[in-house]
Structure 1
């Protein structure tokens, strides 16, 4: 498809995914403000936070954990499974059950375990069974309004969690940095919107390079969870294969896999995410790892995050990845909103198949 044919985009994009991507800066700002106004008990002596979520709801927890790691005094753990780990028990554990639909079975199960174990708990959702269970147990609920796919609500899944930590006094007020991140997203967006032709649109050009390739995304520090986000957006929007790796860990295993099977190397594309806030050694690792892969015959490219802070680097990189995945969906001529394979699996699970 011609990636400058925006009329064709409108025909293919039945769920208005592009509109959600365009509105992500405003969604992030709104989510933060919504969280600031939301009620929360004056909990103290919280020693660990567990965020129970899946897919688009869980990624907000990953982004939060990476962002606050250098200054939050307690661990933030993202739980993508049924039940809870053994250490999650008692009033010093805060369990945040996050589900866009409110009907995610893994999250509902985790909340029940949290209630049984006496954990302090908070539900974040649009409604569904999660809010019903929270109401029955007297658990605080933060509701938000959003129409669209869960992955298009990443501003909510991050911004509300950020507000929780601020409410609890676990982090200083990040409002100034958040506003800077939103401004940086809007500045970068001027070159990424659909009406910007491919010769001036780096996301369209990158998407064009990824057509027909198996994509891996590599990031470090605050961009490690962003690499996961790029991977999942390529999966769900473009219906294409993708994987992600994190540095420095990838240098302890990935490089050993650059020998076989060589006949597939010309179909691989490895993308490196970099930011000014990268640890200097991770930046060096990123550059050297890219060089080694290129010498092995693997196509690589690099994206440089923009903005004046770690939070801006996180969000400009994420936003660029969302646009890239969208344009890749257009290039493959697939609707970026429906995820029929995932819905089919859920139906089979519900039917006990």
Structure 2
């Protein structure tokens, strides 16, 4: 897992490759993927929510939206190419004559897609799907930016910051100067609850998933301002249910005034949890801020797994459930 995380900056640079596609008469975009293959859709939707004039729907289900038709750009994402729900969704999209573009490394999905031009990216094989995130997200982003006339990201600048983060948080760096190690120590023996806002919402969800899968730690996530209208009500003093909660707030390094106000207001009750940790984004551009915070989360989940003396790579419960659902 550490070797895969070390490749993160290079993967980002290699994966950010646009493909020419026909966007004529496209009225909506649907992205289908499960687990590690589906988070790219969440990131794409958050990144482009205020930039595109057509809706983006993330479908984490075997059944696709009823409105999908020949005017739908349909991204189908499966690292292995064998995800049961994703293949079924692909078959439905084919029957509805959607404009299908795929990202897959191999498997049944690749076999079913007869036109190779409909595969916009093939990730390298033998990577944990969740560790292959750049390959499952950035080809879509680059392609949409190019074909919808949006400004392209300078991925080389982003890579530079990602490399700096890796250097500062490498295993040999002592905990005093290692942000990911310090976070892992803080999260040990807690239930992490990850909060974020606006475009960082899927980043918080990624942290939650990596803590689940790598650290084998129960964690959950929520986002501002929504959590201020429900979840905070449970954060009252002496509530035994929150005594083990570690609230991790992921925030933009230059938050908007209203966002800053929402976060600060919530801290008046969040202080009743076991601890509050704040993680600020790094960089100036939205993509850099997103990817750099994801990398810190990936490293934190790895170091927490080490502290818990658990192997981060196997996902035994997930595989057990997959076997049972395929019987």
TM-score (norm 2): 0.95
Alpha-carbon distance between aligned partners in 2 of 1:96 and 1:86, rounded to the nearest angstrom? 16
Is 1:189 the counterpart of 2:166? The answer is yes
What's the secondary structure of 1:289's corresponding residue?
helix
SS of residue in 1 equivalent to 2:113: helix
State the match for 2:135 in structure 1: 156
Contact 1:216 1:242 in 2 (8 A): yes
**Judging changes above 3 Å, is the alpha-carbon distance between structure 1 residues 73 and 129 closer, same or farther for their aligned structure 2 residues?**
same
**Unmatched tracts of structure 2, length 5 or more:** none
Aligned-partner SS, 2:76: strand
Instruction: Name the CA distance, whole Å, in 2 between partners of 1:172 and 1:88.
Output: 27
- Specify the alignment match of 2:35 in structure 1: 55
- Summarize the alignment of residues 211-226 of structure 1 with structure 2, pairs less than 5 Å apart: 211-226=188-203
Residue of structure 2 in register with 1:337 after alignment: 313
CA RMSD for the aligned pairs? Answer: 1.7
Instruction: Tell me how far 1:325 sits from its aligned partner.
Output: 0.5
Give the superposition deviation at 1:298: 3.6
Asked whether 1:300 is paired with 2:276, we answer: yes
Residue 108 of structure 1 pairs with residue 84 of structure 2: no
- The total of aligned residue pairs comes to 326
2:260 pairs with 1:283: yes
Please give the secondary structure, in 1, of the residue aligned with 2:261: helix
* Counterpart for residue 204 of structure 1: 181
| Aligned-residue offset at 1:188 | 2.3
8 A contact 1:272–1:290 mirrored in 2: no
Q: Tell me, what secondary structure is at the counterpart of 2:287?
A: helix
Gaps of 5+ in 1: 1-16
User: Which gives a bigger RCO, structure 1 or 2 (Cα 8 Å, sep 6+)?
Assistant: 1
Alignment TM-score, normalising by the size of structure 1: 0.88
Measure how far apart 1:225 and its partner are: 0.5
Determine the C-alpha separation between the residues in 2 that align with 1:130 and 1:297: 45
TM-superposed deviation, 1:235: 0.2
Q: Distance in 2 between matches of 1:43 and 1:265?
A: 49
Give 1:297 shift.
Answer: 4.1
